[in-house]
């Protein structure tokens, strides 16, 4: 698609929290928070002509590499929230996108995401084929207080669950969606941590894709989780609460 006539380098998108997105406590699920960020980022890339549909002309897609979320509070059922997004850096095959979630005038969640361009045929990273100079970059404008961290996976982890990737886990890129990795790990967490809104930050490192019917292991050491396939780490998650 061509660049939209109403494209701007920053985007604000309003959302109403519905009951399907909430825990029994009535507060937004952490996975649904990530989905709101993902959908807002996708909407901005579509307006700017670098969406999945645009990139498929070159067999390309954006894939998530790192994500950090800092949470002051979670919105609840029926709240109307605003997600704001902009690009912090964009060069060759890599981009950092910032997102913030507001309840009224108050920022309650900050998020930074690090993306790579991925060839959907070769399944390898490569340089973005589409023009992107029309996006203004905001290198000084950050959404979180602490930057991306490299999670220590060289530890002794305990296996807590095994699962097989199902069709419902896949997205349009034909691999398990990034939010599914988080969902699988949070399902192994004590319920009260989720229901009492104890999590204040989430750090995620995406290392390898997982595909349909592949067997994965979920491992844990205290507040750190990993997802592994055939003994190799595909994903790491570190929580603060």
Which domains are present in the chain?
1-148 (3.10.129.10), 149-241 (3.10.129.10)
Determine the distance from the C-alpha atom of residue 207 to the mean position of all C-alpha atoms in its chain, rounded to a whole number. Answer: 13
3-state DSSP assignment of residue 136: coil
Question: Is 0.85 topped by the overall pTM?
Answer: yes
Helices (H), strands (E): how many in the chain? 4, 11
pLDDT tens-place string over residues 111-168: 999 999 999 999 999 999 999 999 999 999 999 999 998 999 999 999 999 999 999 9
Task: Record the tokens describing residue 99, joined without a space.
Answer: 């997102």
181, 185, 187, 191 alpha-carbon torsion, rounded to 10°? -140
Please identify every stretch of the chain with a pLDDT value under 50, giving residue numbers as ranges.
Answer: none
DSSP string, 52-80: HHHHGGGTEEEEEEEEEEEES---BTT-E
**Helix H or strand E encompassing 192:** helix 191-195
pLDDT value at position 1? 64
Structure tokens at 53: 């549909």
Return the exposure string of 12-35: e unless at least 16 CB atoms fall within 10 Å of the residue's CB, then b.
Answer: ebebebeeebbbeeebbbbbbbbb
Average pLDDT value over all residues in the chain: 96
Please tell me the distance from the alpha carbon of residue 108 to that of residue 128, in angstroms, as a whole number: 33
Percent of the chain with pLDDT over 90: 96
CB neighbour list of residue 167: distance below 8 Å, 6 or more residues apart: 212
Task: Report whether 126 contacts 117 (CB < 8 A).
Answer: yes
Please give the Cα distance from 190 to 31 (Å, whole number): 16
């Amino acid at each position: 698609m061509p660049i939209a006539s109403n494209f701007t380098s920053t985007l604000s998108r309003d959302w109403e929290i519905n009951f399907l997105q909430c825990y029994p406590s009535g507060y937004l699920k952490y996975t649904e928070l990530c989905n709101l960020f993902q959908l807002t980022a996708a909407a901005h890339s579509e307006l700017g002509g670098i969406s999945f549909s645009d990139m498929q002309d070159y067999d390309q897609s954006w894939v998530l590499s790192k994500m950090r979320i800092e949470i002051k509070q979670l919105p609840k059922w029926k709240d109307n929230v605003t997600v704001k997004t902009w690009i912090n850096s964009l060069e060759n095959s890599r981009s950092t996108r910032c997102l913030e979630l507001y309840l009224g005038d108050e920022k309650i969640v900050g998020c930074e995401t690090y993306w790579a361009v991925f060839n959907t045929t070769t399944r390898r990273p490569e340089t973005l084929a589409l023009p992107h100079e029309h996006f203004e970059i905001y290198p000084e404008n950050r959404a979180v207080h602490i930057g991306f961290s490299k999670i220590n996976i060289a530890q002794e982890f305990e296996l807590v669950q095994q699962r097989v990737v199902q069709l419902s886990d896949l997205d349009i890129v034909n691999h398990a969606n990034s939010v599914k990795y988080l969902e699988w790990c949070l399902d192994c967490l004590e319920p009260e941590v989720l229901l009492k809104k104890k999590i204040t930050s989430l750090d995620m490192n995406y290392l390898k894709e997982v595909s349909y019917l592949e067997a994965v292991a979920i491992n844990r050491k205290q507040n750190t989780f990993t997802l592994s396939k055939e003994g190799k780490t595909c994903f790491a998650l570190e929580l603060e609460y």
